[in-house]
């Protein structure tokens, strides 16, 4: 599914929700560091804090439409381009190995 349009404000609100423990049904556990999960290869960087790209989008879309997006056509390339469009920086996360 194409990612529905939201807004920069919706993404900022999603980051706030994430900091407060808000998660989508597909999101990382609130009690664990998502940065330790090897599935996350990219992060939005905003005011010195990192946020998982797809989870931030899911929270923003849910806030805007009430729906939880399940998948992103085009995968991470599409997700990264989506947040760039709203003026956010995305960075690669360091490669983590099993047991690291």
Specify the pLDDT at position 2.
83
pLDDT in tens, 23-62: 998 888 877 888 888 888 999 999 999 999 999 999 999 9
Specify the pLDDT at position 96.
62
Specify the pLDDT at position 1.
65
Confidence of residue 89 (pLDDT cuts 50, 70, 90): very high
List of long-range contacts for 80-83, beta carbons under 8 Å, 24+ apart:
80/42, 80/53, 82/3, 82/57, 83/11, 83/44, 83/53, 83/56, 83/57
Q: Where are the domains of the chain?
A: 8-26+34-92
Give dist(CA 33, CA 81) in Å, integer: 24
More confident residue, 100 or 20: 20
Specify the pLDDT at position 100.
46
pTM score of the predicted model: 0.88
């Amino acid at each position: 599914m194409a990612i529905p349009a939201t807004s920069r404000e919706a993404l900022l609100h999603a980051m706030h929700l994430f900091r407060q423990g808000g998660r989508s049904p597909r999101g990382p556990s609130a009690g664990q560091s998502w940065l330790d999960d090897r599935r996350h290869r990219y992060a939005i960087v905003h005011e010195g804090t990192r946020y998982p790209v797809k989870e931030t989008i899911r929270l923003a879309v849910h806030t805007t439409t009430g729906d939880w997006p399940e998948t992103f056509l085009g995968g991470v390339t599409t997700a990264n381009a989506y947040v760039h469009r709203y003026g956010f920086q995305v960075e690669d996360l360091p490669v983590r190995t099993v047991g690291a």
